[in-house]
Amino acid sequence: MSPINLPSYKYQVGGSLPTNSPTYVKRKADDELYKSLRNGEFCYVLNSRQMGKSSLRVQTMKRLQEDNFTCVAIDITNIGTVSITQEQWYAGIIDTIINNLELYDSFDLNDWWMEQNLLSPVNKLSNFFEFVLLKLISQQIVIFIDEIDSILSLNFAVDDFFALIRECYNSRASQPDFQRLTFALLGVANPRDLIQDKRRTPFNIGKAIELTGFELDEAQPLAQGLAEKTSQSMAVMDAVLYWTGGQPFLTQKLCKLILNHQGVVPADRITEWVGELVNSEVILNWETQDEPQHLRTIRDRIMQGGGQLTGRLLGLYKQILLAPISLQKPEITPSMTVQERDGITVNSPPDQEELGENSVFNTSEEVYLRLSGLVVEQQGKLRVYNSIYQSIFNLDWVNQELKNLRPDSYGQAFEAWFNSNCDNNSYLLRGEKLGEALAWAEGKSLSNQDYQFITASQKWEFAQAQQKTQRQTLIGGVVLTASLVLAVTAGVFAGVANQQRIGAVSRLKQANSETQQANQEKQTANRQANNFKQQQLIAEKNLKIAAAKQQTTEAKVKQTQQRLTNAQQKLQQTEKAAKQQIKSAQVKVSTANKQAGEAQTRAKKAQNELKKAQLSLKEAWEARTQALKEAENAQKSTELERLGNVVLRQFEYDKTPQIVVRAMEAGHRLKALVKDRQNLDEYPATSPVRALNTVLNIPQRKTLRHEFEVNYAAFSPDSKRIVTASFDNTAKLWGVNGKLLQTLPSERDANQEHRYNIVHVAFSPNGQKIVAASSDKTAKLWDINGKLLHTLKGHQDKVFYATFSPHHQRIITVSADKTAKLWDINGKLLHTLKGHQDKVINAAFSPNGKQIVTVSWDKTAKVWDIDGKLLHTLTGHQSIVVNAAFSPNGKQIITVSWDKTAKLWDINGKLLQTLDNQKFVHDVAFSPNGKEILTASNDGTARVWDINGKILQNLTVPENEGTISTEAKRAAFVTASPGSSEGTEKQIIVASPQTTRIWGINGKLLHTLKLKQDKILHLAFSPDGKLIFTGSQDGIAQLWDINGKLIQTLTDHRYKSPSIPVAFSPDSKRIATIDRTGTVFLWDIGGKLLQTLKGGFRNVTFSPNSKYIVIISGTKARVLYLETLDELLARGCDWLEDYFVDYPEARKKTGCLAGQK
């Protein structure tokens, strides 16, 4: 019978299976986990790796979501475990939940976290569950926490986290909302290892879900795919399960091997054929064929992850190979050695209260073996999981690994003694060799056979010492008797006999002395054993006392924290009320001052017009006509400003076409007023433009979506492409119309479970290529259409940074593997720049692209030529070198270090000067002509140096103006605009936390910006060098000209909070700011507000042609086209074309001609 022809069937080896995967096998655990979570039970799935936990989570989430449950998936590894603080970790959990549920529009984590600043991180998480999550989400909520074993790598305890889960469960009785919240933990761990304080564990209220291997009746979905190779697919499946034991990873892999094998499965020898395939494709040369990695993971977990337990793990596994081991609690007997008793004490089982009602007793070694996946519990006994494991990790393998662990002389004696059935004492250790063995065993947890051998050697050594003493005593007695007989019978030799007697007595005394010494050594050994036991009891008692004291102290701290919290809340309420009153008063005063100023202006203008009228009647009429015209325009402008503001307010609740008509009417009237003027700063009213942008740009905002938070966005040099990078481990290439052109993914890890992070993305100078650096040890090169051109492989650790040379013919990458690599544009590795002794963190090309400078944590910078030859090593810094830059002419290099210095070098590596500021250097810059260097540091000074390191100017405040601020945060050279005189060629801007000053190149203070602001957090210069933006901690944003004159205070920021990132458009005609609420404000250079964009944004970037902006918010980036008034009106007419069919009278009001598009 020929096999059935079916469509191609795909088995997946490793990683989470998609929800619609035909190879997903439903097991007993699927229904058990689904029903338990649906009933609100806390569940945990703790099992070995590659058992299908992640796929189980994906399938269960799908089923629950179909039942209208809200599900959240938290991967602990994505939050991070290395160099992370407790506050960052808890904030990361909340941030993940917000991203999963897309709550950023209704919840600002930054503000909320600051408001809770007196609470501990776990209390903040508790408040988030109670007052935010359960209030915003009305459905049942299940939070899945995957890779929970990753918390074991944290440098702080997380007992409070597990206690919070228990508290959420206990709160259900008094707070019904908590009945809607439950948790599911998944990972590779033992419950007793996850929490130190067993009294606070949630595992005794939770339900353990046992995840077993595939059974034959469950494996029907896998068998269907084998129909291409056999008509007896279930028989083949049975043979597969014989070898894999139902282990999911191996079962999928073996099915894939069968499906990819040439030919069909012979019907008359299915079992033998499958066995031959397993032997040739899996067992034979298994280390080479283990891809994706599975068997090596098990081996490494035992041999490397076991630490001091490796010997005991191998010994226990050897016993399991010889005969399955019952899971029974061992008893402590008087005959046991100290090591054996200690092992049982340390590994004694926890109380049933600790682990939950479904737990069984296991020693730590048995649990570790089970979590490795090598063994499994069946009917109360530990057995090898499957035949593949038993064939690879067999007795020969165990014996060899044990032999490798033991010293040579020890191992030979050990094997010989056990081969003699422990009967031949000549193989036992003695003397110096026994001492060496005891020293080697100290601190290790050895197998029972090792302890048996060492104990037998000690007993035999002691017995030999006793026998020696007895022989010496017997010899002394015989000698004494012979001496007495000779004394009686041979008196003539009395003198000689007497000497012999004395010698015999002396030898007898020596023998007795040695016997006493042996007895004393035995007593000493017994006393040491007793002392050890007493010390252990004392230590346990002290531990209990310390735990009780800690519990009392924690209770007191908690009470104090609660009182502080209540006091802080009252203070905040009082301050908030006071701020609102002050703000209201300030608004009234500002309005009154503005009205008074306007009145004065009008009066002055009237007086001027009167004087002109007296001089000439003609001039008077002309002036009158002009005045009337200006008044009319002013009145029209005022009316237009009011109309635009009305439209903006109405649009918040009215999205009908009528509101678009009103916005178009205001825009059409504004166009008639401004005629052909294009610059927005010349418009007498801007609210109609804001209104049109608001009502028309909702569909115009193109959303660029990722699965996780977007961390980077940039335009191509020609403004036609946008690249975004995200924590979902992908970069994406988009058109400016929002169309996704290509997804640029990172590599998957060896288990195909996770992708690596993309840490940096850059366009080439000509905009035709993109390079991305990734933590998967590679960089990738794509063309502008998103086609992957080359993968730059070769680094042995994560790649931090990648960039193009100025002529875009070379690429440099730097890595944590202590190297940089130089590639050509075709992805060919040209040179590996070796020599650094620590991570290489940055690199830069010289302006002509012929040299490269790299900086490293090894406190050095290195200069290379374009052929990869090391030219010079720049040594002398006493701490990490954080950055390096070439001068504009490429003849000097400046390096900046955490040792508080900057150093200037010539291109030949000669140190020209150390720029020692005594304090940390915040900013450093070359002048445009490369002849001066500017530094700013937190000693409160800015200094100008020549290229030889000589100080030209100390920029300090004159005595009559007070003292300079304690920190100079920003400094920059600003070239004057074209047409400036020679004497004003360059100016210098220095910004401190509370002042900004403008200096001449000669060090003369030219202007002081009189800031009515708190500490300056942000400073920016317009591209044309004519404007300065300052943003302060109290939320005030101001715009200045280069002479220090205040142009405008940008007053529409809604909250007194830091004005976060600011950007000038490349043509210097627009400014974008973001306040702390994440609202984007778009202004013209006269300080008029053009547009407001709400949405929790945190970054804004203009395109090179100034026609687009891209803004980042959470998992999305949005691109917006910045249209002129004419373009807005044209698109509005097009949008209303269908509306005009029913309401033709509206066409005239909007200025739309019939048929206009």
DSSP conformation class of 824: E
Please tell me the number of Cα atoms within 13 Å of 23 on its side-chain side: 23
Cα 413–Cα 418–Cα 422 angle in degrees, nearest 5? 105
Q: Residue 1115 pLDDT more than 70?
A: yes
Q: In this structure, what token pair is assigned to residue 171?
A: 């709160």
**For residue 308, which amino acid is it?**
Q
Whole-model pTM: value is: 0.42
Q: Residue 821 pLDDT more than 60?
A: yes
Single out the residue of 840, 753, 845, 746 nearest to residue 793, CA to CA.
746
Q: Looking at residue 475, what is its pLDDT?
A: 56
Q: Looking at residue 736, what is its pLDDT?
A: 79
Q: Looking at residue 920, what is its pLDDT?
A: 61
Q: Looking at residue 468, what is its pLDDT?
A: 66
Q: Residue 1118 pLDDT more than 50?
A: yes
Q: Looking at residue 480, what is its pLDDT?
A: 45
Q: Residue 965 pLDDT more than 50?
A: no
What burial letters (b/e) apply to 138-159, b meaning 16+ CB within 10 Å? Answer: eebbbbbbbbbbbbeebeeebb
Helix/strand/coil for 1061: strand
Q: Which pLDDT band holds residue 479 (cuts at 50, 70, 90)?
A: very low
Helix/strand/coil for 146: strand
From its phi and psi, is residue 268 left (phi > 0), alpha (psi between -120 and 50) or beta? alpha
Q: Residue 336 pLDDT more than 70?
A: no
Task: Kindly report the backbone phi and psi dihedral angles of residue 1025, in degrees, each rounded to the nearest multiple of 5, phi listed first.
Answer: 75, 15
Q: Looking at residue 938, what is its pLDDT?
A: 58
Q: Looking at residue 506, what is its pLDDT?
A: 62
Query: What value does the mean pLDDT take over residues 1085-1100?
Result: 77
Q: Looking at residue 140, what is its pLDDT?
A: 95
Query: What value does the mean pLDDT take over residues 644-657?
Result: 80
Q: Looking at residue 586, what is its pLDDT?
A: 72
Q: Label the pairing between strands 181-187 and 43-46.
A: parallel
**DSSP assignments along 490-529, one per residue:** -GGGHHHHHHHHHHHHHHHHHHHHHHHHHHHHHHHHHHHH
Q: Which of 340-354, 546-560, 572-586, 978-992 has the weakest average pLDDT?
A: 340-354
Q: Looking at residue 710, what is its pLDDT?
A: 84
pLDDT tens-digit map of 181-221: 999 999 888 887 787 776 777 777 788 998 888 999 988 88
Q: In this structure, what token pair is assigned to residue 64?
A: 């629950």
Q: Looking at residue 986, what is its pLDDT?
A: 53
Distances (CA, A) of 926 to 872, 919, 932: 22, 20, 6
DSSP conformation class of 993: S
pLDDT tens-digit map of 613-623: 566 656 656 76
Single out the residue of 800, 753, 721, 705 nearest to residue 1115, CA to CA.
705
Question: Would 28-211 and 919-1009 be classified into the same CATH topology?
Answer: no
Contact predicate 297/49, CB 8 Å = yes
Distances (CA, A) of 285 to 261, 393, 953: 19, 13, 72
From its phi and psi, is residue 530 left (phi > 0), alpha (psi between -120 and 50) or beta? alpha
- Number of neighbours of residue 809 by Cβ within 10 angstroms: 13
Query: What value does the mean pLDDT take over residues 698-709?
Result: 71
Q: In this structure, what token pair is assigned to residue 114?
A: 């600051």
Q: Looking at residue 741, what is its pLDDT?
A: 84
Q: Which pLDDT band holds residue 940 (cuts at 50, 70, 90)?
A: low
Q: Looking at residue 724, what is its pLDDT?
A: 87
Q: Looking at residue 1019, what is its pLDDT?
A: 64
* Euclidean distance between CA atoms 226 and 235, whole angstroms: 10
Q: Which residues pair with 897 in a beta bridge?
A: 881
Q: Which pLDDT band holds residue 332 (cuts at 50, 70, 90)?
A: very low
Q: Looking at residue 998, what is its pLDDT?
A: 65
Query: What value does the mean pLDDT take over residues 821-831?
Result: 93
Q: Residue 734 pLDDT more than 80?
A: yes
The residues spanned by each domain of the chain are 28-211, 452-615, 617-698+1129-1150, 919-1009
Indicate the CATH number of 28-211 among 3.40.50.300, 3.40.718.10, 3.40.50.2300, 3.90.226.10: 3.40.50.300
Q: Which of 372-376, 768-772, 787-791, 973-977 has the weakest average pLDDT?
A: 973-977
| Residue with tokens 């994440």, as numbered in its chain | 1078
The mean of the pLDDT values for the chain is 76
pLDDT tens-digit map of 557-610: 567 567 667 756 766 776 677 677 777 767 776 776 777 677 677 767 777 776
Distances (CA, A) of 506 to 282, 482, 669, 1098: 74, 15, 131, 96
425-434, 465-474, 783-792, 858-867: which is most confident: 858-867
Q: Residue 303 pLDDT more than 70?
A: yes
Q: Residue 1042 pLDDT more than 90?
A: no
* Euclidean distance between CA atoms 861 and 842, whole angstroms: 10
Q: In this structure, what token pair is assigned to residue 1093?
A: 């964009």
Query: What value does the mean pLDDT take over residues 343-364?
Result: 39
What percent of the chain clears pLDDT 70, i.e. is strictly above it? 71
Task: Kindly report the backbone phi and psi dihedral angles of residue 682, in degrees, each rounded to the nearest multiple of 5, phi listed first.
Answer: -95, -5
Q: Which of 111-125, 280-294, 514-528, 1040-1054 has the weakest average pLDDT?
A: 514-528
pLDDT tens-digit map of 145-173: 998 888 888 888 888 898 898 899 889 98
Q: Residue 511 pLDDT more than 90?
A: no
pLDDT tens-digit map of 415-471: 777 777 787 777 777 776 677 677 677 666 666 777 777 787 777 776 776 676 566
Q: Which of 37-51, 110-124, 418-432, 1098-1112 has the weakest average pLDDT?
A: 418-432
Q: Residue 682 pLDDT more than 70?
A: no
Spatial strand order in the sheet of 911-916: 881-886, 892-897, 901-906, 911-916
Q: Which pLDDT band holds residue 60 (cuts at 50, 70, 90)?
A: very high
Indicate the CATH number of 919-1009 among 3.30.930.10, 1.20.140.10, 3.40.50.300, 2.40.10.480: 2.40.10.480
Q: Looking at residue 341, what is its pLDDT?
A: 35
Q: Label the pairing between strands 181-187 and 141-146.
A: parallel
Single out the residue of 1000, 1070, 1057 nearest to residue 1029, CA to CA.
1070
Q: Which pLDDT band holds residue 89 (cuts at 50, 70, 90)?
A: very high
880 or 307, which is more confident: 880
Q: Which pLDDT band holds residue 1144 (cuts at 50, 70, 90)?
A: confident
Q: Residue 688 pLDDT more than 70?
A: yes
Q: Which of 159-163, 378-382, 767-771 has the weakest average pLDDT?
A: 378-382
Q: Looking at residue 987, what is its pLDDT?
A: 60
Cα 952–Cα 955–Cα 957 angle in degrees, nearest 5? 145
